[in-house]
């Protein structure tokens, strides 16, 4: 499974988006576009990513740009894995 598919699936599961999450693409906006994505959900997503991929995220690594689009979130994960 690709990093994109894994991150997308974790996002869908964490936010409980169900079938509407399947239409998310690389360019899909996240912050401000998905009502379920609030500050607590961001923490949940980061935790899910840390647990699944086995890396740690420091507070200063996260910004609004990280959660701007699904693609920017995937790029963040790929940088952490590199």
Tokens of 19: 């079938």
Burial of 13 (0-12, 13-18, 19+ CB in 10 A): middle
Tokens of 67: 């959660």
CATH number for the domain formed by residue range(s) 3-81? 1.10.1200.10
Q: Is the pLDDT of residue 1 over 90?
A: no
pLDDT digits (tens, 9 = 90+) for 11-65: 999 999 999 999 999 999 999 999 999 989 999 999 999 999 999 999 899 999 9
Q: What angle do CA 49, 81, 11 make, to 5 degrees?
A: 25
The set of residues, in sequence order, having a beta carbon less than 8 Å from that of 34 and lying 6+ positions away, is 15, 17
Which residue ranges make up each domain of the chain? 3-81
Is the pTM higher than 0.85? The answer reads yes
């Amino acid at each position: 499974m690709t990093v994109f598919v894994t991150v997308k699936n974790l996002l869908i599961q964490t936010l409980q988006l169900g079938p509407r999450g399947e239409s998310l693409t690389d360019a899909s906006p996240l912050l401000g576009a998905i009502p379920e994505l609030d500050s607590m959900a961001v923490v949940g997503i980061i935790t899910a990513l840390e647990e699944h991929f086995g890396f740690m995220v420091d507070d200063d690594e996260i910004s609004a740009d990280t959660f701007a689009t699904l693609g920017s979130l995937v790029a963040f994960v790929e940088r952490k894995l590199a």
